[in-house]
């Protein structure tokens, strides 16, 4: 199964078709992939990636390396027009400008950089995956939230009141505590969470799935508060650190690590890393989010 078809619910949700011009594509926002304040930022980033693939790199000759998106307002269900403009096409790097509109209102704006594959690096190093144990097997089954244990080798079963997107993705938490625990870090410290992320249907790991995994986990700041808050993303930057071809990489799951080192003035930052099952660093991200009380 290739990752570019519409064989899974995720692929159908992020699918795009050619738009009215050579630089536009049209997606359909699916409310099933929403968070409390609108479509999840990682879901929208995955949809942008599909537009880039269609409009700029249909032959899979390049690799997405950097994607920065500013989320201007929430999108509603229905058509979303994406425009992708090539600012420069170089021998190694191609730079793009991205914009999305819905009902003639700007939804997001961004920049992206694609690179030729196989660029030689004179030196290389990277972080080690923090996964304490392997991902649960695809057929391991679900455990209710109140019974879940990180060492159970099972996936967590969400409760109905969780956001819609949580019911579209499978989670196996391995690090951190629970939301609303009031675990505020000491000065200089951080709040951290993470675990295995997968989709219910078999699917290879491509750039779109990695983008989703970087933002689909609940924000670490949720563990530092004692009452519900919302944290809609203001901007998100993703750096893809591995060669991820269009057909995807082998594996059923990725491991996400999510960390916040500062919150205040109504804002919180979050750094994330996503690793493959073999420990390969696939991508890193940083985002700034609004942080306000819910309701």
The CATH number that applies at residue 157 is: 2.40.160.210
Residue 234 has pLDDT above 70, yes or no: yes
CA distances (Å), origin 5, targets 15, 72, 98, 243, 294: 9, 29, 23, 20, 38
Question: DSSP H helical segments within the chain, as ranges?
Answer: 9-14, 41-55, 207-216
* Residue 129: inside a domain: no
Residue 263 burial by Cβ neighbours in a 10 Å radius (0-12, 13-18, 19+): buried
The total domain count for the chain is 1
Between residues 164 and 5, which one has the greater pLDDT? 164
- Which SS3 state, helix, strand or coil, does residue 223 take? helix
Closest CA to 156 of 102, 198, 204, 203: 198
**Residues near 288 by beta carbon (within 8 Å), at least 6 away in sequence:** 233, 234, 235, 267, 268, 269
* Residue 168: inside a domain: yes
* Residue 133: inside a domain: no
Residue 2: per-residue pLDDT: 36
Please state, in angstroms and rounded to a whole number, the distance separating the CA atoms of residues 75 and 71.
Answer: 9
* Residue 2: inside a domain: no
* Residue 266: inside a domain: yes
Residue 48: per-residue pLDDT: 98
CA distances (Å), origin 190, targets 28, 95, 127, 269: 37, 34, 18, 11
pTM: 0.96
Per 3-state DSSP, what percentage of the chain is helix, strand, and coil (rounded to 5)? 15, 40, 45
* Residue 4: inside a domain: no
Question: For the chain, what is the mean pLDDT?
Answer: 95
* Residue 3: inside a domain: no
Residue 119 has pLDDT above 70, yes or no: yes
Residue 165: per-residue pLDDT: 97
Q: 272: domain range?
A: 9-116+140-293
Q: Given pLDDT bands bounded at 50, 70 and 90, which one contains residue 295?
A: confident
Residue 6: per-residue pLDDT: 56
* Residue 74: inside a domain: yes
Q: List the structure tokens of 111.
A: 């920049």
């Amino acid at each position: 199964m290739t990752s570019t078809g519409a064989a899974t619910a995720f692929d159908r949700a992020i699918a795009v078709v050619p738009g009215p011009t050579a630089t536009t594509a049209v997606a359909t926002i699916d409310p099933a992939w929403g968070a409390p304040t609108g479509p999840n930022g990682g879901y929208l980033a995955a949809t942008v990636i599909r537009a880039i693939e269609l409009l700029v790199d249909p032959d899979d000759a390049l690799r997405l390396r950097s994607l920065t998106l500013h989320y201007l307002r929430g999108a509603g269900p229905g058509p979303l027009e994406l425009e992708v403009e090539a600012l420069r096409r170089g021998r190694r790097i191609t730079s793009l400008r991205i914009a999305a509109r819905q009902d003639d209102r700007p939804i997001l704006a961004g920049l992206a950089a694609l690179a030729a594959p196989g660029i030689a690096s004179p030196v290389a190093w990277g972080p080690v995956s923090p996964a304490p144990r392997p991902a649960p097997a695809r057929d391991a089954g679900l455990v209710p939230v109140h019974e879940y244990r990180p060492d159970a080798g099972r996936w967590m079963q969400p409760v109905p009141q969780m956001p819609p997107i949580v019911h579209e993705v499978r989670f196996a938490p391995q690090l951190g505590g629970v939301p609303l625990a009031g675990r505020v870090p000491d000065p200089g410290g951080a709040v951290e969470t993470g675990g295995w992320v997968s989709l219910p249907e078999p699917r290879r790991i491509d750039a779109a799935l990695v983008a989703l995994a970087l933002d689909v986990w609940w924000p670490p700041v949720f563990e530092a508060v004692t009452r519900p808050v919302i944290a809609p993303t203001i901007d998100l930057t993703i750096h893809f650190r591995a060669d991820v071809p269009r057909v995807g990489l082998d594996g059923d799951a990725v491991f996400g690590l999510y960390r916040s080192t500062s919150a205040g003035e109504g804002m919180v930052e979050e750094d994330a890393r996503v690793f493959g099952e073999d420990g390969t660093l696939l991508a890193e991200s940083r985002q700034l989010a609004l942080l306000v009380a819910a309701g």
